[in-house]
Amino acid sequence: MTKQLVLALALLSAATVAHAREEKASLLPLEETVARGIREGKLDGSVTFHLSGAPAPQGTATPLGEEYLHRRTSNIGKELVFACHWAALSGLIALQENAKKRGANAVVDLHSFYKEKTVKDPVHFECNQSSYQTVVAFKGTYVRTAP
């Protein structure tokens, strides 16, 4: 009987680990996250964010470097859409602060870049969720625009 119990527990453990690795990707509008960040005072509007394929800021743009970053949050106790916006906002806050340090006022060609997979969409970012965490990864170029 003990061997059967050990075998059953081992199979249950393997199934749990396999389930934990399953991931689901969702596309969400970036504008909602930016608006929430400004409304909550976490983004100040001094840096604009332009997804790949969306209209870029007008005027001459001086490139000031590229950046890749990702942000994670636990799914525990959070609705999945809220967790996506939470992780994305955390990334946008970091991009805003890094842009200011470089003298940039915009991030252009912003796109999702997770596990070497690029998703370029003019309106949406990709949010990746497993059973226990949410990950949003961005790649973009800092620019200083002049009229």
Q: From CA 109, how far away is CA 64, in angstroms rounded?
A: 13
- In tens, the pLDDT along 88-111 reads 999 999 999 999 999 999 999 999
Long-range contact set of residues 19-22: C-beta below 8 Å, sequence gap at least 24:
19/131, 20/130, 20/131, 20/132, 21/130, 22/130, 22/131
Helix (H) or strand (E) holding 141: strand 133-146
Judging by DSSP bridges, how do beta strands 24-29 and 48-51 pair with one another?
Answer: unpaired
Structure-token match 């332009």, residue found:
50
- Domains (ranges, CATH) in the chain? 23-146 (3.30.110.70)
Q: Taking residues 79-88, report their average pLDDT.
A: 93
- In tens, the pLDDT along 1-12 reads 555 544 444 444
